[in-house]
Amino acid sequence: MKTAAIIVAAGRGTRAGAGLPKQWHPLGGRTVLAHSIGAFCDVVDHIVVAIHPDDRARALALQDIWPKLQIVHGGDSRAASVLAALRELEGCGVEKVLIHDGARPLVAAQVIRDVLDALDYAVGAAPALPVTDALWRGDQGQVVGTADRTGLWRAQTPQGFRFDAILAAHLAHPGGAADDVEVARWAGHMVAIVQGDEDNLKLTFAGDFARAEHILKGREMDIRLGNGFDVHAFTQGDHIWLCGVRLPHSHALLGHSDADVGMHALTDALYGALAEGDIGVHFPPSDPQWKGAESHIFLRHAMERVAARGYRLANCDVTLICERPKIGPHQAAMRAALAQIMQVPVDAISVKATTSEKLGFTGREEGIAALATAALVKA
Ligand code: MG
């Protein structure tokens, strides 16, 4: 079933200050209207924005982001703007249309889905919240009466309708309706109420923007990335430690600790993601207590810092660079060892290897290099 969204953004409301219509104000790095449009772009087949002709250049810039965005010039009233957008969609085969205020940038995907779903059984559907505060009548700064709030709702958008029904209703309506639900009801259609959302606020006053910024910050995905790189030279010996696994080898790796080059790169990736330096900062090589230390001490410490900062490991990826030993047969054991040390699922850990085609110090088998990437997300 084809769906469309109409974003009404032709108003000149400047109560929010700065002399600019509020839908064009910046919010979290883009305009309010860009947020409002973005909320629908993955959900519907068509998006039409109704703008004031003076804002055409700004609207065309939005089309660069969403090529499917259709632009129409709105009219003198909200209803005239909606009708212009509905006419733009005529003949496109749209069956459900959502009509949304351009100044409601924080509408949640769930609200949009609920409205669309309700249109399976109702001609119209719109989100709303029950009035919970007491209602007063006031005059000249004084309470002069109370009103019964029973059955009262605070209307939000998007207001959704069967396309043909709302187009016919708008064409026939004499004008002056507060919103599209009023137009639909005037035409005799049933409009269902779906659950609204307190965050779906209509930005009107300057203070609303601070609240919207605060809500947006809370929604941001908090992801941190770090990388690590380490090299250890071969020396005389008969085994090496790599990613927590002891491998028999013709040489050993030289180092202050057990020289587990893979685990060192991974540990540095974790510290790097936290912007907390590297192994050398936390375990100075000048300190004799770390001589010959097992590297899982470092890795465990880095994971403790991750937890202490309120993050968890999403995944990590370690690449070992050497001609020998062959890593393939030990990959599974290495992933299991790291998972055990880090207390994360094995599928969060990748260990892979490459040669350097016999080039450079790794190619000449003078040592082993390792690099690692770690992604942390807010726990
Ligand atoms: Mg090292």
How far apart are the CA of 289 and the centre of ligand 1, in A? 16
What pLDDT does 139 receive?
95
Which tops the pLDDT comparison, 78 or 291?
78
Ligand 1 centroid distance, CA of 188 (Å): 76
Asked whether the predicted pLDDT for residue 103 surpasses 80, the reply is yes
Question: Binning pLDDT at 50, 70 and 90, where does residue 371 land?
Answer: very high
Cα 261 to ligand 1 centre (Å): 5
- Cα(242) to centroid of ligand 1, in Å? 11
- Give residue 128 CA to ligand 1 midpoint distance, Å: 59
For residue 226, the CA-to-ligand 1 centroid distance in Å is 16
Average pLDDT of the segment spanning 256-283 = 95
* Confidence grade of residue 354 (pLDDT, cut at 50, 70, 90): very high
CA distance 223 to 202: 29
User: How far away, in angstroms, is 378 Cα from ligand 1 center?
Assistant: 28
Query: How close is the Cα of 274 to the center of ligand 1, in Å?
Result: 19
Ligand 1 center to 241 CA (angstroms): 12
In the block, residue with structure tokens 């207001």? 159
Using CA atoms, how far apart are residues 112 and 195, in angstroms rounded to an integer? 10
Q: How distant is the alpha carbon of residue 359 from its chain centre? A: 42
Q: What separation in Å is there between the alpha carbon of 345 and the centre of ligand 1?
A: 25
Q: How far is the CA of 36 from the centre of ligand 1 (A)?
A: 49
- Distance from the alpha carbon of residue 295 to the mean position of ligand 1, in angstroms: 9
Question: Based on the number of CB atoms within 10 Å of its own CB, is 155 exposed (0-12), middle (13-18) or buried (19 or more)?
Answer: middle
- Residue 290 pLDDT grade (very low, low, confident, very high; cuts 50, 70, 90): confident
CA 208 from chain centre, in angstroms, equals 22
Task: Quote the CATH superfamily of domain 223-378.
Answer: 2-C-methyl-D-erythritol 2,4-cyclodiphosphate synthase (3.30.1330.50)
Q: From the CA of 357, how far away is ligand 1's center (Å)?
A: 23
**What distance in angstroms lies between residue 363's CA and the mean position of ligand 1's atoms?**
19
Distance between Cα 260 and ligand 1 center (Å)? 7
For the chain, what are the domain ranges? 2-218, 223-378
| Cα 318 to Cα 306: distance, rounded to the nearest angstrom | 18
Q: What is the percentage of the chain residues whose pLDDT exceeds 90?
A: 82
| Cα 280 versus chain centre, distance | 35
CA 244, 246, 250, 256 torsion-angle sign: positive
pLDDT of residue 14: 59
* Ligand 1 center–CA 280 separation, angstroms: 9
Give 331-349 as a 3 state SS string: HHHHHHHHHHHHCCCHHHE
How high is the pLDDT of residue 348?
A: 94
Which pLDDT does position 13 carry in this prediction? 67
The protein residues having their C-beta less than 5 angstroms from ligand 1 (an ion) are: 230, 264
DSSP output for 241-282 = EETTEEEE-SEEE--SS---HHHHHHHHHHHHHTT---HHHH
Q: Is 148 exposed, middle or buried (0-12, 13-18, 19+ CB in 10 A)?
A: exposed
- Cα 229 to ligand 1 centroid, rounded to whole Å: 9
Residue 264 CA to ligand 1 center (angstroms) comes to 5
Give dist(CA 301, CA 303) in Å, integer.
Answer: 5
The β-bridge relationship of strands 96-101 and 159-162 is antiparallel
User: Is 3.90.550.10 the CATH classification of the domain at 2-218?
Assistant: yes
Q: Kind of pairing, strands 124-130 and 153-155?
A: antiparallel
Residue 18 scores a pLDDT above 70: no
Q: How confident is the model at residue 291 (pLDDT cuts 50, 70, 90)?
A: confident
Identify the band that residue 288 occupies on the pLDDT scale cut at 50, 70 and 90. Answer: confident
The predicted pLDDT at position 15 comes to 60
Cα-to-centroid distance, 370 and ligand 1 (Å): 9
Residue whose C-alpha is closest to residue 260's, from 142, 145, 372, 132 = 372
Q: Comparing C-alpha atoms, which of 179, 30, 169 is closest to residue 101?
A: 179
Show Cβ contacts of residue 235 under 8 Å, excluding neighbours closer than 6 positions.
Answer: 251, 252, 253, 254
> For residue 317, which of 232, 240, 229 has the smallest C-alpha distance?
229
Average pLDDT value for residue range 288-307 = 92
Please answer whether residues 282 and 272 qualify as being in contact, where contact means their C-beta atoms are separated by less than 8 angstroms: no
Cα 122 to middle of ligand 1, angstroms: 66
Span from the CA of 369 to the centroid of ligand 1 (angstroms): 9
β-strands 69-73, 46-51 pairing:
parallel
CA 270 to ligand 1 center in whole angstroms: 14
How far apart (Å, rounded) are the C-alpha atoms in residues 332 and 338?
10
267 CA from centroid of ligand 1 (Å): 10
pTM: 0.64
Please give the distance, rounded to the nearest whole angstrom, from the Cα atom of residue 312 to the centre of ligand 1. Answer: 24
Question: CA-CA distance, 263 to 299, in Å (whole number)?
Answer: 7
Residue 206: its pLDDT value, please? 86
Distance 308 CA to ligand 1 centre (A): 24
Dist. CA 329 → ligand 1 center (Å): 23
Q: How many whole angstroms from 265 Cα to the centroid of ligand 1?
A: 7
Give strand pairing partners of 161: 97, 124
